[in-house]
Amino acid sequence: MHATAADTLRQIWREARLPEEALGQIKLTGEEPVLPSSFAIGVAAQSSIGSAALAAAEIWHARTGRRQRIGVDLRAAALECLGWFSLDGRAPEVWDKLSGLYPCGEDAGEAGFVRIHANFAHHRDGALKLLGLKPGDSAEKNDVTRALRRWRARDFEQQAADAGLVVSALRSFAEWDAHPQSRAVATEKLVGMETIGAASRRPLTPLDPAEPPLKGIRVLDLTRILAGPVGGRTLAAYGADVMLVNSPHLPNIEAIADTSRGKLSVHLDLATELGRTTLRELVREADIFVQGYRPGGIAALGFGPEELAALKPGIVCVSLSAYGYHGPWASRRGFDSLVQTSTGFNHAEGEAFDGSPRALPVQALDFCAGFLMAFGGQAARLRQAREGGSWHVRVSLARTAHWLRGLGRVPNGAATPKPEIAGLVKTYESGFGRLVALPHAATFSATPPHWSRRSMPPGSHRPEWPARN
């Protein structure tokens, strides 16, 4: 059996040491199963979204002296994790043709599977080069399958990691549990939260009760792909001024049209002194700094948590990593699909279905980690107002996977049909075209979540904060 969303949310809330009385203001409805999965994805989505929404309501309470009711339906929460959207009537292709799970090792005498992530050309071409294939988009899946026959799964995984690529070998839960990185991840908190420097308390400013909870709170969003952008989008839905910072030299996926709802979108080249100077100026006026660089990456540019705390005492830093912050894989690159594969989910989900390894029906690690990042940033801001200090919040995909596994399994979940989203999607103005997407699953009795800015292509805005009205 699986845990309940109410118990799960309560544990998240209490671990962050937030006011107990707020827990009486949220109503969670619905039950598993909702998605075709043996895992409690709905519970995970509902409790992580509920935590983020309740933290926003608690900030609103601190600013207005009033409380409001929060509601999250399990089905709506799970469907938000589908990440479905369309642009001008076209549903973009999520995966590159070479991304996926491959059998390998037949000629090496050790059959197994590896997952290759090829959504970015440099990752695709790096994997093809390692396999002895010609880089470019002419390669087909059959070419990759043939080349992998001579590779043992973990040898290919290791050599890919050494080359800075993104590949995972398939493991069972038992095999992952025996890995030193699994043991390191198990010692970390789901939402790590610690002070990183002394700073005076920065009380939350009073707010007109008609205004959204995070109005005037400034968030720098230096994240890409899904988890971090979902976290920033969630904060924007609660009224924050979220500024998405992209490099002018890095590619993006089409999901940016969906995950940029509510955000300002700027270009900064942090490889230049001008870019770093501009970011430092923005940091001095920011409240929350969210980043998804590989551990150590942002610090190498001069924006590690301690440097940020020196620039802006009292700031809340939120960091995302793939495999956690300790252990031999702490600096390893990864995405949701790869972490699912390496931590045992693809193997376990396959056993629940037809025996063939298979992915979860949604990128649950990305979405839940994103909602938990939004929760952690708000929780730390609440504690800063109460206790002072600068704060560092840590979330990882691997620790989120450990948590999801711990929620238990859903009987008959594998027999659940894929849900329909007809009638649930909404149309949004967008600088990318006509955007049709799913709304945020949380409801607020006084300040319904919404995005006051339309999503815009990277570089559409100047790197300047709007005035705090």
Work out the number of other CB atoms within 10 angstroms of the CB of residue 30. 16
- Which pLDDT does position 362 carry in this prediction? 97
Residue 173: pLDDT band by 50, 70, 90 thresholds?
very high
Two structure tokens written together for 177: 């549990």
Residues 28 and 69 sit within 8 Å (Cβ to Cβ): no
Distance of alpha carbon 139 from alpha carbon 261, whole angstroms: 35
Residue 101: pLDDT band by 50, 70, 90 thresholds?
very high
Two structure tokens written together for 185: 């991840």
Alpha helix stretches (DSSP H) within 264-311: 273-283, 297-300, 305-311
Residue 2: pLDDT band by 50, 70, 90 thresholds?
confident
**Whether this model's pTM surpasses 0.95:** yes
Tens digit of each residue's pLDDT (9 = 90 or more) over 267-302: 999 999 999 999 999 999 999 999 999 888 899 999
Residue from 181, 174, 157 nearest 338 by CA: 157
Tens digit of each residue's pLDDT (9 = 90 or more) over 356-414: 999 999 999 999 999 999 999 999 999 999 999 999 999 999 999 999 999 999 998 99
162 labelled catalytic: no
Q: What domains are there in the chain, each with its CATH number?
A: 5-92+183-328+353-444 (3.40.50.10540)
Q: Check residue 319 and give left, alpha or beta (phi > 0: left; psi -120 to 50: alpha).
A: beta
**Averaged pLDDT, 218-229:** 96
Residue from 406, 408, 396 nearest 372 by CA: 396
- Which pLDDT does position 121 carry in this prediction? 87
Out of 241, 287, 336, 366, the active site residue is 366
Name the percent of the chain lying above pLDDT 70. Answer: 100
Q: Look-up: residue for tokens 């720098």?
A: 220
Per DSSP, 413 falls in state G
Residues 316 and 289 sit within 8 Å (Cβ to Cβ): yes
Residue 60 amino acid letter: W
Calculate the alpha carbon distances from 108 to 152, 185, 459 in Å.
Answer: 6, 31, 48
The yes-or-no verdict on residue 305 having pLDDT over 80 is yes
- Which pLDDT does position 244 carry in this prediction? 98
Mean pLDDT of the chain: 96
Calculate the alpha carbon distances from 411 to 34, 40, 70, 173, 417 in Å.
Answer: 12, 10, 29, 19, 14
Tens digit of each residue's pLDDT (9 = 90 or more) over 247-262: 998 888 899 999 999 9
- Which pLDDT does position 285 carry in this prediction? 98
Two structure tokens written together for 53: 């929404």
Instruction: Report which listed range, 5-14, 89-98, 117-126, is most confident.
Output: 5-14
Residues recorded for the chain: 469
- Which pLDDT does position 322 carry in this prediction? 97
